[in-house]
Structure 1
Amino acid sequence: MRRIFLVLLSLPTLFTTPTFAQAPGAPIDVKHYTFEIKLNDADNNIEGKATVTVRFLNAADGFNLDLVKKNAAGKGMLVSAVTENGKPLKFTQEDEQLKISTRAYKGNTRDYTISYSGVPADGLIISTNAFGHRTFFGDNWPNRAHNWLPCVDNIADKAPVDFIVTAPDHYQVVSNGLQTEEKQLDGKLKLTHWVETVALPTKVMVIGVAEFAVDRPGDVNGIPVFTYVFPESKEAGFKSYAVAKDILPYFIKNVGPYSYEKLANVQSKTIFGGMENASAIFYFEESVKSPEIEELMAHEIAHQWFGDGASEKSFGHLWLSEGFATYMTNLYLENKYGPDTLKVRLMADRKTVLKFEKSRLSPVVDTAVKTQYMQLLNANSYQKGGWVLHMLRRKLGDDIFWRGIRNYYSKYQGGNANTDDLRRVMEQASGKDLKQFFTQWLRTAGHPNLVVSWKFDEKDNNITINVTQTQENVYNLALEISVDGQVLTIPVKEKSATARFQLKARPADVKIDPNVNLLATFEENK
């Protein structure tokens, strides 16, 4: 996803005390969700019926789902009934959990239906767009789905999902997967059924309900690409969003098969700049006129592979989503516009990382954040994560790097991975031990501070280059220095390193890190 900080800063209380129904060793695994949602134009109340298929991993006398209870302000969901095969079950609601009493044995698979209603406190954004028209948009990241959906609101629990939406018939509905039904009902209502057969985490399960203009700019490898924009944005939106059909082939070719049945790009009311909902990406309202729409779309489309298809096991490893999307965007733009584009973007990303570290010094793999996951939408997860992939690419070479990326996606497509899982795949692809590389760049806070000095010996035409690391933790790295256009590589494995090179004459031009391949600060002592 891409961030809009001003919006996030206005919503601090929404993400302070999330709870999860399923801790490690939880008794169930969700196998499928069907959410029947009724919307209206009279008020913000929704009526819901969720059928949740669960498999019991252990014998149990009950299980929990995440669901925000109706509070004193009237926001939240009130459960009226829980049934199994039509039989009522006992249940209780706490602040953010629905506790269901049922007896099951290990290996049992059961269907439970929860009837509920209420005004969503968050997660389903009910508002008006810039043109004054009413809209409804799911916006679940990171764990806001349980504000309106009974679910296991945990990134590690994936399941296929059906959304069956009943709404006034002047709306169109877009969601994950493929639309299988749309029919007129009495009372000027319309039922729309979307089916997603691929298992998803709840963070990317959504509906978008609004008055839309819809376009189909093309198909890619049999995958239909759609544009959904507000009718008033039709001219600008159809033109700007059409670039998606040019982005999709790059990732299919270089990473692997696209996981989903379609790709819809949707103008929305998301609180983010873009939100990578599986097969139904939501973009901020003004994106249709944004000069950076290609970059934004490349980032969100990359997430269909990294974050949606292969998801992190926990948010402490968010860089596997955001760092990947950041660097894959850079690679797409490098491929289209040339290597200088990549250099410019890497320099900007490096500047962002160094600025961030002055305010908060933490590792990229940040397991210290236990609840307020919005904190992780930072330069470590995005730009530094992307930089680590760039340095890994330079360390391994393009062929091995891409082989490892494809193997990683193939292995974890439809599942979850952590940083060590990626490391093991890249080690297997390269035949190299990458533990130190991953530890110093991802599990250690900060970056190398390098002082570089050089001296030329007129007698022997030798240049002696000295590199000193001034930070506390010593990195094992390779520093490139250009001498009159010739790129020299200096291995730096200790606090300081010295290297000598034969030249033809005194150098006229010496540049440190000329190809922008190292995340570090540089000081040159001449």
Structure 2
Amino acid sequence: MSALSALGQAPGSSIDVQHYRFAIDLNDADNVIKGQATLTVKFLKRADKFTLDLAKQNSEGKGMLVTALKEHGKAVMFLQDSDKLIINAKGAPGSVHSYRINYQGTPTDGLIISTNQYKHRTFFGDNWATRARNWLPCVDHPADKASVEFLVTTPAHYKVVANGLKVAEKLLPGNKRFTHWRETAKLPTKVMVIGVADFAVANPGNPGDTPVYTYVFPEDKEVGFNSYAVATKILPWFVSKIGPFPYKKLANVQSKTIFGGMENAGAIFYYEKSVNDKGIEALMAHEIAHQWFGDAISEKTWQHVWLSESFATYMANLYLEGTYGPDSLKSRLEDDRKLIFAFEKQYLAPVVDSAFKGPMINMLNTNAYQKGGWVLHMLRRKIGDEAFWKGVCNYYKLYNGSNANTDDLRAVMEKVSGTNLKPFFYQWLRTSGHPQLKISQVYNDAAKTVAIHVNQLQALPYQFTLELLVDGKLYQMNIKGAETILTLSSASAKPDIKVDPNVNLLASFVQ
């Protein structure tokens, strides 16, 4: 896994890749792939050379070996160094150049070449976070987004799925098949993929004129076609809430991804046994939400990965709330709250974790998913449903096809709500931990009143609204300091008090 070096600027920051054209040749005799990548790049500043990401061959013979690199047919000098491809080519600011890279090798990762549970050979791209470099020469960072096309030559018995629309497919001499997919929207490399297998394919519907396809292994055809068809219900719900679907088709694909689901743009890959997963609807909702958040809008740097994962988490929860009622949302929030508190005991850090060190895969943690999702829930409660959804729609309109960070989201939400959200974003996203509240009560028999004391036990106090249900009546307390007291009339010395009855606060409670 790539470590901390990948967290900063895009490694090719002197250039902006405009378009990738990957011609990939696969075979059944061995795991060697032959590639020809044509990159259209725009120079952002004057440079004598620039760098792409590509893992070179290692001592075991795995990795990619570049055999030729040309611009307009003329050889260009280059150097492969570890996972970098250094290209000695000059460019002036604003100039656009096209480079053709011939390479081959056995991928160490990124393109998973293996057999499925039925012992049939498969090929699946699996690029998150910076694993595309193991089989594609690219700028392997979410800040550099480009359109992409895949031209894949395989043995004839395979079907190929990829980003975008299929623009050509034909049989070739030698019992081979050529398939060409093209995506015109700009994508980060983490979601540029191909899937190659003996697929059974269905089209369960075309909601809003967006064709939805199912790709599963033939042995799982019956159950897979049935379970994956729920996508035709999920997709229009998100379109109605967020805005138009960013891509021209949605394929849901049974695969060999190392993740439960991987949000590849317009071609989502799910783990192999997902066709029998009772939670497939929630999983699909998460991955389909990613098409807007993570794919269409991508984080500027990895520290802001919560903008992808938390949005997908909370949007899936909101879909389930809208479909099955508010209790489903409450239940999931309660479960997530427990996960967050347990995770804090292992790793105490803010959601926007600028001090993160370690394998990239460890960024996919409870902070990035559940805690960030909880923050979005509290934001929704703070500014109200109307402003929240308006902000979500505006955020998508503004950053579709580009990148955003946490402050960009805050600015959008401040504008729609007319509220200064800096304190809210700082305490929930840039501060570790959570409010730890002790709730106690003191009864005054003479005055027939009860004083409800709320004490914050953590070092630094948070500011928030706490809901209390006292003998069936809802009260809201504005908590700011270490102790806040609410005094109420009460005929009972021990009124029934339910803390946070609507599950709207990420806090732990002691009574």
Name the TM tier (shorter chain). over 0.9
Residue matched to 1:53: 40
Corresponding position: 1:438 with 2:405: no
Q: How many residues align?
A: 511
Distance 1:310 1:75, change over 3 A: same
State yes or no: 1:306 paired with 2:293: yes
> For residue 252 of structure 2, what is the amino acid of its counterpart?
N
Within 1, Cα distance between the matches of 2:439 and 2:396? Answer: 39
Q: What is the rounded CA distance, in whole Å, between the counterparts of 2:452 and 2:493 in structure 1?
A: 13
Is the alpha carbon distance of 1:428 and 1:266 closer, same or farther for their aligned partners in structure 2, counting shifts above 3 Å? same
Q: Distance in 1 between matches of 2:494 and 2:358?
A: 55
CA separation in 2, counterparts of 1:236 and 1:507? Answer: 55
Give the CA deviation at 1:17: 7.3
The alignment status of 1:69 with 2:56, answered yes or no, reads: yes
Residue 281, structure 1, aligned to residue 272, structure 2: no
Partner of 1:316: 303
TM-score of the superposed pair, with normalisation by structure 2: 0.98
Contact 2:448 2:489 in 1 (8 A): yes
2:11 and 2:51 in contact (8 A); partners too: no
* TM-score, scaled to structure 1: 0.95
Question: Structure 1, residues 26-76: CA drift from partner, whole Å, max 9, x if none?
Answer: 211000000000000000000000000000111111111100000111110
CA distance in 1, matches of 2:7, 2:431: 28
Q: AA paired with 1:191?
A: F
Which secondary structure does the structure 1 equivalent of 2:60 belong to?
Answer: coil
- Provide the rounded CA distance (Å) in 2 between the counterparts of 1:263 and 1:23: 28
Q: Which stretch has the larger CA shift, 180-189 or 484-493? A: 484-493
Q: Do structure 1's residue 217 and structure 2's residue 209 form an aligned pair? A: no
Structure 1 equivalent of residue 389 of structure 2: 402
Q: SS at 2:89's partner residue?
A: strand
Residue in 2 aligned with 1:159? 146
SS in 1 for 2:281: helix
| Contact kept? 2:43, 2:92, Cα under 8 Å | yes
- 1:8 corresponds in structure 2 to none
Deviation at residue 453 of structure 1 after TM alignment? 1.0
Aligned to 1:296: 283
CA deviations on 1:302-357 (whole Å, 9 max, x unpaired) are 00011111111111111101111111111100111111111111100000000000
1:231 maps onto 2:231 in alignment: no
**Are 1:35 and 2:26 matched, yes or no?**
no
In structure 2, C-alpha distance between the alignment counterparts of 1:185 and 1:50, rounded to whole Å:
21
Contact 1:20 / 1:66 at 8 angstroms: preserved in 2?
A: no
Compute the RMSD of aligned alpha carbons: 1.5
Structure 1: tracts of 5 or more residues without a match? 1-13
In the TM superposition, residue 454 of structure 1 has moved relative to its aligned partner by: 1.7
1:352 match: 339
Deviations 1:247-299 (A, max 9, x none): 00111011111100000000000000000000000000000000000000000
Amino acid aligned to 1:233: D
Structure 1 counterpart of 2:394, one-letter code:
N
1:171 paired with 2:168, answer no
**Aligned-residue offset at 1:394:** 0.8
**Aligned equivalent of 2:66, options 68, 72, 79:** 79
Q: Which moved more, 1:258-267 or 1:368-377?
A: 368-377
Q: Which of 493, 496, 500 lines up with 1:509 in the alignment?
A: 496
* d(CA) in 2 for partners of 1:457, 1:425: 47
Three-state SS of the structure 2 residue aligned to 1:463 is strand
Q: Does 1:385 align with 2:369?
A: no
SS in 2 for 1:450: strand
Q: Helix, strand or coil for the counterpart of 1:60?
A: coil
- Indicate conservation of the 8 Å contact 1:51/1:112, yes or no: yes
Question: The residue matched to 1:490 in structure 2 has which SS?
Answer: strand
Q: SS state of the match for residue 250, structure 1?
A: helix
AA of the residue aligned to 1:396? I
- 1:195 aligns to 2:170 (yes or no): no
Aligned equivalents of 1:358, 1:20: Cα separation in 2? 25
Q: Quick one: distance in 2 between partners of 1:329 and 1:451?
A: 32
Distance in 1 separating the partners of 2:477 and 2:298:
37
Partner Cα distance (1:24, 1:466) in 2: 53
Q: Residue 237 of structure 2 aligns with which residue?
A: 250
Q: Distance in 2 between matches of 1:271 and 1:284?
A: 7
8 A Cα contact 2:8 2:301, kept in partner? no
Q: Distance in 2 between matches of 1:342 and 1:500?
A: 31
2:431 counterpart letter in structure 1: T
Q: Which residue of 2 aligns with 1:372?
A: 359
Q: Distance in 2 between matches of 1:502 and 1:386?
A: 37
Q: Report the Cα offset of residue 503 of structure 1.
A: 4.7
How far residue 16 of structure 1 moved from its aligned partner, in angstroms, is: 4.4
Do the aligned residues in 2 keep the contact of 1:177 with 1:261 (CA within 8 Å)? yes
Q: Which letter maps to 1:114?
A: I
Evaluate the alpha carbon distance shift between residue 134 and residue 309 of structure 1 in structure 2; reply closer, same or farther with a 3 A threshold.
Answer: same
- 1:10 maps to none
Residues 20, 153 of structure 1: 8 Å contact kept: no
Residue equivalent to 1:205: 192
Unaligned runs of 5+ in 2: none
- Measure the CA separation in 2 of the matches of 1:501 and 1:225: 56
* Counterparts in 2 of 1:43 and 1:270: CA distance versus 1, 3 Å: same
Residue by residue, what CA displacement relative to the aligned partner does 1:101-141 show, whole Å, maximum 9, x if unpaired?
A: 11221111010000000000100000000000000000000
What is the DSSP-based 3-state SS (H/G/I as helix, E as strand, rest coil) of the residue aligned with 2:339?
helix
How far 1:460 moved relative to its partner? 3.9
Task: Using the TM superposition, name which of 121-130 and 87-96 deviates more.
Answer: 87-96
User: 1:501 Cα deviation (Å)?
Assistant: 2.7
Tell me, yes or no, if structure 1 residue 495 matches structure 2 residue 477: no
Match of 1:423 among 410, 430, 448: 410
User: Alignment partner for residue 468 of structure 2, among 481, 496, 512?
Assistant: 481
Farther-moved stretch of structure 1 (498-507 vs 409-418): 498-507
